[in-house]
């Protein structure tokens, strides 16, 4: 396989960020960037896994307060969508004093992971440009995230972690740009998607690599025989090479993807085949199959020649405008089992401490009901899992769930108290990005006093 990196020069570094409203303040940090170069820690192996729940998970029926007053507030707001208190699965966070919490009844696996210290929640997270009070939100007196409550836009805000722009590059991609610029050299792209193209993993200088849930698909022209012989392969490559002479940039993009695909697949599959199969059993649902591939890639890390990986897996179906109670139970049950299998598999291959998983969604949903569902909200919860996670805790500030209360921006859409930037920066810091580089990757992070939430 050919493994090529153009060495980035300082000028490239200066272009590293994205075009944002914050670019002026970003420039101020660039002077210190050079001195910070190579400060990132890329020793050993680490992987981040983004599990994205597309559609907007109803976080407030995922993690529910059980203390009497807080539960009453919850039930009063959620009305016919409130879960019965007795059905909640008790979790026992060590940092919430006398406040009690429980999980949706379909999440016993997450309950166990949490209570055994392998998982934590960061509560009421969401895109923010800066810390924002309810009064500031209502008066629009501070910069607010772009196109709040729209699926496509909040997915972009969450995955770029730059709330006040239509940034082009995701934070996973920007971390890869940074680490590559600082000298990390590995044979396979840092960003691997098992769920197709996405915003999160695209960088300015680095692309993401897509793999299937079972393997990297290989061209069947490589199989000899009547229909596919060696000469056919030569012709395929010849025509592909000729396409590069033609002017269309769209065709070049297509040909580039096709080239990467055939150049990469056999090597990746060989690496996957070179390590023992996992004995941990996974479900047959799409999320489980994706996470199984992530675990296989982790196991094959040495054969793949990688020290840092970011995986993206995704499942849709979380847009619960209708039949919330039935649909969410099914989806959360699937999620809970898949996460358990994944953590079990990491334990099987002794990689628990090397892998941190975070479960994110574009927004939480309204606390109020539209009949039998909820609409697009803002704040939600992020679940983090892994051997390195300081688990059994709730990070951030659990919001008031009262309609018209201190956190309600309207309809019971909560105003986030922790920004996605802070979550992402904490994960990136664990991943090896130096403290000073965090400001380059997350241009709005400087607006928040707590740069590291300490959950990992």
Partner 1 sequence: MRIKGSMAWGAVRSASVVAVLSLSACGGGGGAGSTPVTPSPAPTPAPQLPVGKVAAARFLTQATFGPTLAEVEALQNATSFDAWLETQRAKPVSLELPYLQQLKAAGENVYQNQRMDAWWHNAVQGEDQLRQRMAFALSEILVVSDQSGPLNNDVEGLANYYDLLARHALGNYRTLLEEVTLSVPMGHYLSMLRNQKPDVAAGIRADENFAREVMQLCTIGLVQLNLDGTPKLDANGAAIPTYKQPDIEGLARVFTGFGSQHETANDPDWKFLYGKLDGLKPMESWQQFHDTGTKVIVGNTPIPAGLQADAELDMALDVLFNHANVGPFIGRQLIQRLVTSNPSPAYVARVAARFNDNGVGVRGDLFAVVKVILTDTEARNGNVTDPQTFGKIKEPLLRTTHLWRFFAAIGNNGRYDNWNPEIDYGQAPLRSNSVFNFFRPDYRPVGALTNAGLVCPECQITNEASITNLTNAMGDVAVNYVWSGGNGRDYYNSHTIVLDYRPWENRAMDANLPAFVDDLNVVLLGGRMSADYKSALVEYVKTTAATDGGKRLYDLAHNISSSAQFALQQ
> Where would I find the H helices in 1-123?
10-14, 23-36, 68-78, 108-115
DSSP 44: S
* Identified binder of partner 1 from the candidate list 221, 303, 325, 329, rule CB under 8 A: 221
Q: How far is the CB of 400 from partner 1 (least distance, A)?
A: 16
Does residue 261 touch partner 1 according to CB under 8 A?
Answer: yes
Which residues from 303-322 bind partner 1, rule CB under 8 A? 316-322
> Count of residues binding partner 1 (CB under 8 A)?
101
- Main-chain phi, psi angles of 315, to 5 degrees: -135, 140
Distance CA 315, CA 355 (A): 20
**In this complex, which beta carbon is closest to partner 1, that of residue 76 or of residue 87?**
76
Does residue 444 touch partner 1 according to CB under 8 A?
Answer: no
- Which listed range, 165-173, 380-388, 394-402, 434-442, lies at the site for partner 1 (CB under 8 A)? 165-173
- Which residue from 4, 296, 42 is spatially nearest to 176, judged by alpha carbons? 42
* Identified binder of partner 1 from the candidate list 48, 189, 349, 385, rule CB under 8 A: 189
Q: Tell me the three state secondary structure of residue 90.
A: strand
Query: In this structure, how many other beta carbons lie within 10 angstroms of the beta carbon of residue 404?
Result: 9
Which residues from 143-162 bind partner 1, rule CB under 8 A? 147-153
Does residue 43 touch partner 1 according to CB under 8 A?
Answer: no
Distance CA 362, CA 329 (A): 19
* Identified binder of partner 1 from the candidate list 35, 43, 98, 226, rule CB under 8 A: 226
Does residue 31 touch partner 1 according to CB under 8 A?
Answer: no
- Which listed range, 72-80, 105-113, 129-137, 444-452, lies at the site for partner 1 (CB under 8 A)? 72-80
**In this complex, which beta carbon is closest to partner 1, that of residue 139 or of residue 227?**
227
**In this complex, which beta carbon is closest to partner 1, that of residue 147 or of residue 397?**
147
Does residue 19 touch partner 1 according to CB under 8 A?
Answer: no
- Which residue from 72, 58, 50, 102 is spatially nearest to 367, judged by alpha carbons? 58
Q: How far is the CB of 131 from partner 1 (least distance, A)?
A: 21
Which residues from 84-143 bind partner 1, rule CB under 8 A? none
Instruction: Check: CB of residue 139 under 8 Å from CB of residue 405.
Output: no
Which residues from 354-373 bind partner 1, rule CB under 8 A? 366, 368-371, 373
Residue with structure tokens 């018209």?
Answer: 404
* Identified binder of partner 1 from the candidate list 133, 251, 397, 435, rule CB under 8 A: 251
Does residue 203 touch partner 1 according to CB under 8 A?
Answer: yes
Does residue 188 touch partner 1 according to CB under 8 A?
Answer: yes
* Identified binder of partner 1 from the candidate list 116, 217, 302, 435, rule CB under 8 A: 217
Q: How far is the CB of 196 from partner 1 (least distance, A)?
A: 6
Distance CA 407, CA 41 (A): 38
Binding mask 385-414 toward partner 1 (x if CB under 8 A, else -) reads ------------------x------xx---
Q: How far is the CB of 18 from partner 1 (least distance, A)?
A: 10
Pairing of strands 418-419, 209-210: unpaired
Does residue 197 touch partner 1 according to CB under 8 A?
Answer: yes
Dihedral, CA of residue 350, residue 352, residue 355 and residue 356, to nearest 10:
180
**In this complex, which beta carbon is closest to partner 1, that of residue 282 or of residue 320?**
320
Distance CA 368, CA 390 (A): 33
**In this complex, which beta carbon is closest to partner 1, that of residue 98 or of residue 231?**
231
- Which listed range, 263-271, 346-354, 426-434, 435-443, lies at the site for partner 1 (CB under 8 A)? 263-271
Instruction: Identify the sign of the CA torsion 110, 115, 120, 123.
Output: positive
Q: How far is the CB of 3 from partner 1 (least distance, A)?
A: 4
* Identified binder of partner 1 from the candidate list 73, 375, 408, 437, rule CB under 8 A: 375
- Which listed range, 37-45, 189-197, 348-356, 432-440, lies at the site for partner 1 (CB under 8 A)? 189-197
Instruction: Check: CB of residue 36 under 8 Å from CB of residue 437.
Output: yes
Distance CA 397, CA 144 (A): 20
Q: In the structure encoding, which two tokens stand for residue 51, read together?
A: 């599990």
**Cα dist. 352→80, 118, 129, 288, 394 in Å?**
40, 9, 33, 17, 21
Distance CA 304, CA 192 (A): 12
* Identified binder of partner 1 from the candidate list 68, 87, 253, 302, rule CB under 8 A: 253
**In this complex, which beta carbon is closest to partner 1, that of residue 196 or of residue 276?**
196
Neighbouring C-alpha atoms within 13 Å toward the C-beta of 308: 25
**In this complex, which beta carbon is closest to partner 1, that of residue 87 or of residue 246?**
246
Does residue 230 touch partner 1 according to CB under 8 A?
Answer: no
Which residues, at least 6 apart from 423, have a Cβ–Cβ distance to it below 8 Å?
A: 122, 125, 358, 360, 382, 453
* Identified binder of partner 1 from the candidate list 58, 73, 109, 205, rule CB under 8 A: 205
With vertex at residue 340, the alpha carbon angle to CA 335 and CA 342, rounded to the nearest 5 degrees, is: 95
């Amino acid at each position: 396989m050919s493994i090529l990196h153009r060495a980035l020069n300082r000028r490239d570094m200066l272009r590293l960020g994205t075009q944002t409203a914050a670019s002026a303040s970003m420039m101020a940090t660039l002077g210190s960037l050079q001195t910070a170069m190579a400060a990132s820690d890329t020793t050993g192996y680490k992987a981040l896994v983004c599990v994205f729940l597309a559609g907007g998970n109803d976080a407030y029926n995922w993690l529910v307060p059980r203390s009497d007053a807080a539960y009453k507030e919850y039930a009063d707001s959620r009305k016919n969508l409130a879960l019965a208190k007795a059905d909640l699965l008790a979790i026992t966070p060590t940092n919430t004093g006398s406040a009690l919490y429980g999980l949706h009844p379909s999440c016993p696996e997450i309950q166990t992971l949490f209570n055994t210290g392998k998982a934590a929640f960061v509560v009421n997270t969401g895109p923010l440009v800066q810390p924002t009070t309810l009064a500031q939100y209502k008066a629009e007196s501070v910069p607010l995230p772009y196109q709040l409550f729209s699926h496509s836009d909040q997915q972009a805000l969450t995955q770029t972690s730059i709330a006040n722009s239509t940034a082009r590059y995701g934070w996973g991609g920007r971390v890869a740009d940074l680490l590559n610029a600082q000298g990390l050299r590995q044979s396979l792209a840092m960003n691997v998607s098992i769920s197709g193209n996405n915003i999160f993993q695209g960088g300015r200088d680095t692309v993401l690599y897509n793999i299937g849930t079972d393997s990297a698909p290989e061209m069947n022209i490589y199989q000899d025989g009547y229909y596919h012989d060696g000469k056919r392969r030569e012709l395929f490559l010849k025509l592909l090479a000729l396409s590069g002479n033609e002017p269309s940039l769209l065709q070049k993009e297509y040909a580039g993807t096709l080239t990467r695909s055939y150049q990469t697949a056999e090597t990746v599959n060989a690496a996957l085949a070179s390590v023992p199969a996992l004995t941990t059993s996974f479900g047959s649902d799409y999320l489980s199959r994706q996470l199984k591939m992530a675990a296989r890639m982790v196991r094959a890390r040495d054969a793949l020649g990688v020290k840092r990986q970011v995986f993206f897996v995704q499942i849709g179906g979380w847009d619960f405008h209708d039949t919330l109670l039935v649909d969410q139970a099914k989806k959360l049950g699937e999620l809970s089992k898949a996460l358990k299998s994944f953590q079990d598999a990491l334990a099987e291959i002794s990689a628990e401490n090397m892998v941190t998983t975070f479960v994110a969604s574009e927004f939480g949903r309204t606390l109020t009901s539209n009949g039998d569902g909820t609409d697009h909200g803002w704040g939600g919860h992020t679940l983090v899992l892994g051997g390195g996670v300081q688990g059994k805790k709730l990070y951030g500030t659990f919001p008031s769930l009262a309609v018209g209360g201190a956190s309600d921006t309207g309809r019971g859409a909560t105003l986030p108290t922790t920004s996605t930037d802070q979550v992402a920066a904490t994960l990136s810091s664990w991943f090896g990005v130096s403290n000073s580089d965090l400001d380059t990757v997350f241009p709005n992070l400087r607006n928040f006093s707590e740069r590291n939430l300490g959950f990992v």
